[in-house]
Structure formats: structure tokens, C-alpha cells
Structure 1
Amino acid sequence: MTGATLPALVLGIDTPIGLAIVRDLGRHGVAVTGIARSRGAVGLGSRYLARGVLRAAGEAGVIAQLEQLGGELGEACLFAISEGDISMLNRHRARLAQRFRLMFPDQRRMERVLDKQQTYAAAAQVGVPVPRTWQPDGAATPAALAQGAAGLHYPVVLKWADPNGIGPRVRAAGLAVDKTRYCHSAEELLAYLAPYGAAGCYPLVQEYCAGYGLGQFMLMRDGQAHCLFQHRRLHEWPPEGGVSTLCEALPLSEHSALMAQSVALLRALEWEGIAMVEYRHDPASGRSALMEVNGRFWGSLPLATAAGAHFPWQAYRLLGQGAAPEASPYRAGLRCRFMVPETKRLLRLLFRRQAVADRRLAVRPLAELLGYLADFLRPSTRYYVFDWRDPGPFWRDLRQMLRR
């Protein structure tokens, strides 16, 4: 029913991502019901939330809860935030599709981006540059590992090809699934890899790529890209690479050729829905290298919506209503801060620089401190949680921090 106003149901309003979806849909007149894991969830404090409920226990409980809410709401658009929740919902996709319009990709497409080897293979087909990558064989002998390690340039960065899929197997062996790990020599790499032989699997090993994080975002439907947006990561937590804690919207006039390659990559992946294509961009050389594709709403979504790139609303219109997306020019130069990890980053750089894994990261403590303070006064600064039009989530978040 094109153009009809449907309610929305958001699974996962505990984070700034879910909060940004609630705010964006609510500001466009959509009645939003949100599901939270705890009473302290930031999304429960939003004035744009029509109804908030606590999440049921277990997979069967969540599915039953969604069906009950679907019966109460009638036809509605169902949003999910985390990769784990998307995979869970996809196990019941046919059943849920009878009640909801699903705002997340099917599992076949999700697996293509969750598995970095599949993503990199698609990237190679369309000419998207990727870092030099080595995937040690799970049955590799110590000699084979040593040979592979000897052929790399250091430092290297380790990450799992499919952390969600391999996690249970690795943890069953009593080992950690690190998001990233830096190794600065073959000896350090081999020492880190050695325990994983017991699990019969190893992380991907990539040669280090200098530069900053560059994210390109779009909404795909039938091979057509809508609602383009991009940002630069200015700060991350941990400082050597992780979640964005300070990011800045970039104009589409920059990196336009790379944006075209990102769209080509998503077409090669037969992608439908929202996606983030993440690169490491080296301004000194002008080269970019693909890091990953996120097939879900991303951590810095509050920047996009604050700048005017209304991805939740556009996805609702395109995938939920079947309506053409609205033109949405956005404000380049706007910044957005994730204050808790941004503060943790500052404290590490000031007092525990030796804990920063990237030894090439230049740190100027005084400049970091002054920049941290100056951003409070910058008119173009926005925040992941705080919004003067919707202060409830900030106060809820502050209360939770004081109780810890």
C-alpha cells in the first residue's frame, strides 16, 4: 500500500543507533514502538518513542513477542540493529514476513558481507582495492605459518573473517575473538596465532593501511543507489582503530570515483537495503583500501541523520511504503561525538599512550586536550545521544553512568 503511514517496530533501542532510528522516524510522524534489553536503555527516554517494551528472554520469546506486537500494531515496518539480531530474525523470516515489512536484508546477502573473504572476492571483481590479506589455513603446520608470516610487511592487523560465525568455536577453545589485533613482527604474529591452532581456525592477517577511516553509505534497491552520504572518522576508540567517536560529514564532491566503486561493489553483492562501505584512506598517497561492508545501520548513524541524510526514514519509505526516496541534501562539515568512548580515548592518549597498539599513531597530548574542549564550543558539533530537542535519553544515559 504505497504511501500509507505504517507504524514501526525497532528491536534494539539500547544504543545510539537505535535511538537515532527512533528519532528520525518519530520526527517524520511515524509511530514507533521500541524493544529494549533494560530499563536504562537510552531509547526509552526519547519523546519520539510512542511505546517502549522490555525484550523477552530467549529467541523463542523474542519471536513470540514480535508476533504479539504485530497483532496489536497491524501491518508495521520491523527494524533490527545488530548483526546477531538480524541473523536471529532471518531464521524466522518467512514467519515474520506475514506480519511485518522487513527493513533488513535476508541471510543470504548478510552472509556475503559478514564473511570478509566473500566481500573481498566481490571487491576484486569490480576493481575495489583491498589490503594485502592472508588467511592462514586452519590445519596449517607451524612451518606453513612461519612461511606465510615471513612474506608479509609489518605491522599487520588481525581480524576475523566472520566473527559472528566463528565466535562460538573459538570461545569453546577458551580463546578470545579480538575485534582487531596489531602485530609488529613475524615473531609477534606467530606467537599470537599459536593458541588458535587448538581451535583449528585463524583470523585474517592484513598488512597495515595508513590513513583515516572513510565511510560511504547508501540505500540500495534493485541495483539503484539512493541517499548517498559519506564521512571521515576523526577519532576512534580504541585510538588505533575501532568505533567512531568523532566523525565529520564530507561533501559528495570528494571521493566521487570511490563512491561509484562502492555502488558497483554493492551491485556485485546483489545488495538490497542500507549499507556502509568502509575504507582506510591515505591522504598522502591518495589511495584507499576496503576494510569491510556493514549490512546494517552503523554506529555513526546519528551524524548522518543530524546532517540531513535520513536513512531510517528513506528506508521506511522505499522498503516499507514502496515510495520513491525523497531528495535529501545534507550538511557537509557537521561533526558528531560519542562522548563516553571519546573521553576514554582522551584519557588513554594523555595517561596510557603505551597501551595504544598502533605505534605509528602520532600523539600530541596538549593538542588532543585542547581539541576535546574546543569541540564543545564548535557550532557544527552534534552528539550521538544528547539533543536539546530530545533531552530525555541524555539524562537517562547520565543516570546509568552515575550508577556504575
Structure 2
Amino acid sequence: MAVVLGARVIEVVRSLAMGGIPVGVVTPTGDPARWSRYARNVMTWDWMLPAERHDDALADRLVRFARQQSSPPVLLYCSDQPMVFVSRHRRRLAEGFRFAVPDAALVEAMEDKARFAALATARSLPVPPTVVLDVCRPEPPDELLDLGLPLIVKPTARDRTWVEAVGSNTKAIRIDSKEQLLEVWPRLRGLSKPAIAQESIPGPETAVVSYHVYVDGNGEIAGEFTGRKIRTIPVEYGHTASLTIMDDPEVRRLGRKVCTALDLRGVAKIDFKYGPDGRLYLFEINARLTLWVHPGARAGVNLPAIVHADLTGRPRPRCGRTGGDVDWVHPKDVLAARAHGVPMTEWLSWLWRTRPVTGVWKWDDPGPLLGMAAVRVKGAVARRPPARGEGCGSDC
């Protein structure tokens, strides 16, 4: 059995199901995976809570569950908060689970973009010029403008304080002028952790590529694939709405180099962007499973199943590649396509031509999409202002 921690874990659940592996989930209320025919609900947990809330008590609850199983489950994680939780409580969790997690110091550095920028510079990795922002200062530092405009501001921790500061869950914001920087600066003071600013690398979202890998305990690459974003929502610095798994030798070469430089163990998604000069820039590393693993598994490299096999002592599933690229699409891609200026007829033609792996929706597993839709309808009804006279007492 595998237990998956995190939010939006449905693609990992389906990857495990492809390998015939029973799955339990520890997810927030309303997560689509909770309605999947492939998953059982182990626990409800809000991973957006502050890090200190993911404490020993949660570890104890999970270990109690693990000890009730016939054999120690494999523990997997799909977002930064559970990644840090597993790392910080690895000794306690090891009493009931089997899992692969990188070195503790490396986990902390990858979760904190300020630490990662320093680590990447020390290891001569190709990150864009970066400045860590002291948002307690009354005004932006002069060195910030030395990066040149436009520049990109990213949160060290993308939590509720970031959403409140920028008014959305976007991964970053672009600053195009000094006036805009001065307007944004006061709003950054409420962040739970410092933000960073980086030199902007020109180019569309299709220039964003990634290397996905599982490095076993001996330092050997047990599975890998590369991919590229097609569309995001919002258009800039948004969440992936569609992607393609394809073979990019340069991304694979640099991805392997990064793994060696950091002596990485476990799973990772390493994000790069092609600059106008064709050079690859390293943006970030997520040492966890992501939604990309499902289309990766359809392409022939099932990273979650390989990890599960290693940790349970079973033969690894064979890694192969299909004859062509494998695309993946989220239901929100119809909105992303419109935002990207893609005509509906062109988008429908692409769907028909590529027959992509569908995110959330699956004909033989409709529960996740239907459950997610029901939650959103319920939320919309709850937010609806009462009709005139509705809900009034005797004073109306």
C-alpha cells in the first residue's frame, strides 16, 4: 500500500493505480482524489496550515494508522508542506512507513527559495541573478533595480500570506517599473517569510521545461523523463493547464548534472527555462511527486511505481518510451486556451489530434471531477447574497 500526502494528488493516485498499488490519501477537504475509485481516505488534513501545525501529533496519527496495516505502507508526498513534514519527522514516521527523502538540509534549502538561491550559487548552478528581499525595510533596496526591469518577485513560501499580498495564488509577479515596485513593496511586509527577486528571463511559458527523476539510495537514476509546458492559467507564472512529455536531451543532460551537484536522492522535478539565446536557466527544484508523473507514466516511466517497488523490495516496472510525445490537459485548459488567445476551434482540433491524457477527469473514474464540481457549486451557493427578504427575522 502507498499513502500519498498533499493537495491535488489525483495524478499520483492514478499513476500508482496503473501499477496495481492500493492507495490511501491524506488530503484537504474537497481534494478531487477523495472521490477517486482508486483511493481510500486515510485522513483529512489542510496542508496550507503553517509548518509548525504539521507536528508530532500528526506524525503519531499516521504511524498509528501504518501499524494497523499488514505491512509498512510506502509514504509519498506531493507538495512542499508534506515534503518538509516528512523530512522533519523522518525518525518518527520511519517507525511505521517506508519512504525516500533527500538529506534534511537539502530539503530545507529546496523549500526556501532564498536558501536555494544561495545553494545554487555556491554549486555553480545556472540560476538567474537573485536578490533576497528584506521586506521589513521601508523601501526596496537599490540593488534590486540593479537586476534590471522587468524583474520577477517570488515568495519563499507560497502560503496564505502570499495569496493575501498579491491577491491571487500566482507563483510569481512581474515588476515592470519602479513605480510598480514601490506600489507592491508595502504589501510584501505581511509575508510569513522573505521573498526573492530574480532577473526576468524573456520568453513564453512554452520555454519552461522540466526534468523529472527518481534517484535511488545508491545514487543511480532509476527513472527519468523530460517535459514542457503548453499553457498555464493565469498566462504568466500560473499553474500548469496543459503539458507535453517529450524527449529533450539538453534538459536531461543538465538535469542529471544538477542531481550530481546536489548529491540528490529520491524524486525531484527540476524546472528550467530556455532563454532567447538558447541557454537553460534553473528556476527551482521540487523534491516531490507532481501532476507530471501521470502523463510520464503513460509515456512509459512510472516514477511512483518505481519508488514503491524499490521500497518494498519488488522488481521495478520496466521503463520505456512510447512512439511519440504524450500530452496532458486539465479541464481548466479551455480557459487557459482562451486567455492565451487560442480559438476554440483550434483548441478542439488539438484535443482531437493529440488525444491527451486528461487531468482530474477519467471516464472510468469520474468521481474526482464530479466531486470537485459539487464542492464548487456548494461554495458558490454559500457565497450567494440572500434574496430580498430571505433569511430575515421579524425586523425585516
TM-score (norm 2): 0.80
Matched, 1:30 2:21: yes
Instruction: Tell me: CA distance 1:394–1:201, structure 2 relative to 1, closer, same or farther (3 Å).
Output: closer
Residue pairs, 1:15-94, within 5 angstroms: 15=8, 18-38=9-29, 40-49=30-39, 51-55=40-44, 59=54, 62-73=58-69, 74-94=71-91
- 3-state SS of paired residue (2:98): strand
**Number of residue pairs the alignment of both structures matches:** 364
Matched, 1:318 2:310: yes
Q: 2:273·2:281 contact (CA, 8 Å) conserved in 1?
A: yes
Question: RMSD in angstroms over aligned alpha carbons?
Answer: 3.0
- Alpha-carbon distance in structure 2 between the residues aligned to 1:81 and 1:154: 34
Residue 235 of structure 1: which of 217, 231, 237 is its match?
231
Letter in 2 for 1:369: M
- Alpha-carbon distance in structure 1 between the residues aligned to 2:132 and 2:143: 9
Matched, 1:9 2:9: no
Instruction: Tell me: CA distance 1:198–1:380, structure 2 relative to 1, closer, same or farther (3 Å).
Output: closer
- Cα deviation code 1:169-196 (max 9, x no counterpart): x67xx85596311111223223322454
- Structure-2 residue corresponding to 1:372: 347
Instruction: Tell me: CA distance 1:248–1:258, structure 2 relative to 1, closer, same or farther (3 Å).
Output: closer
Instruction: Tell me: CA distance 1:126–1:104, structure 2 relative to 1, closer, same or farther (3 Å).
Output: closer
Matched, 1:345 2:359: no
Matched, 1:257 2:250: yes
- Cα deviation code 1:206-261 (max 9, x no counterpart): 1211232111111112332231111111101110122111111112xx3x234222
Q: 1:248·1:334 contact (CA, 8 Å) conserved in 2?
A: yes
Instruction: Tell me: CA distance 1:331–1:62, structure 2 relative to 1, closer, same or farther (3 Å).
Output: farther
Shift of 1:269: 2.0
Residue pairs, 1:354-365, within 5 angstroms: 365=341
- 3-state SS of paired residue (2:68): helix
Q: 1:275·1:297 contact (CA, 8 Å) conserved in 2?
A: yes
Residue pairs, 1:142-291, within 5 angstroms: 142=139, 145=140, 147-160=142-155, 162-163=156-157, 175=165, 179-196=171-188, 202-211=194-203, 212-221=207-216, 222-251=218-247, 254=248, 256-282=249-275, 284-291=276-283
- Cα deviation code 1:96-127 (max 9, x no counterpart): 10111024445322112123344344444555
Letter in 2 for 1:299: L
- Alpha-carbon distance in structure 2 between the residues aligned to 1:230 and 1:92: 31
Shift of 1:69: 1.6
Instruction: Tell me: CA distance 1:127–1:11, structure 2 relative to 1, closer, same or farther (3 Å).
Output: closer
Residue pairs, 1:377-396, within 5 angstroms: 377-396=352-371
Letter in 2 for 1:397: M
Letter in 2 for 1:157: I
Q: Sequence identity of aligned pairs in percent?
A: 21
- Alpha-carbon distance in structure 2 between the residues aligned to 1:197 and 1:10: 34
Instruction: Tell me: CA distance 1:27–1:330, structure 2 relative to 1, closer, same or farther (3 Å).
Output: same
Q: 1:126·1:261 contact (CA, 8 Å) conserved in 2?
A: no
Instruction: Tell me: CA distance 1:202–1:69, structure 2 relative to 1, closer, same or farther (3 Å).
Output: closer
Shift of 1:265: 1.5
Letter in 2 for 1:25: L
Unaligned runs of 5+ in 2: 47-52, 381-396
TM-score (norm 1): 0.79
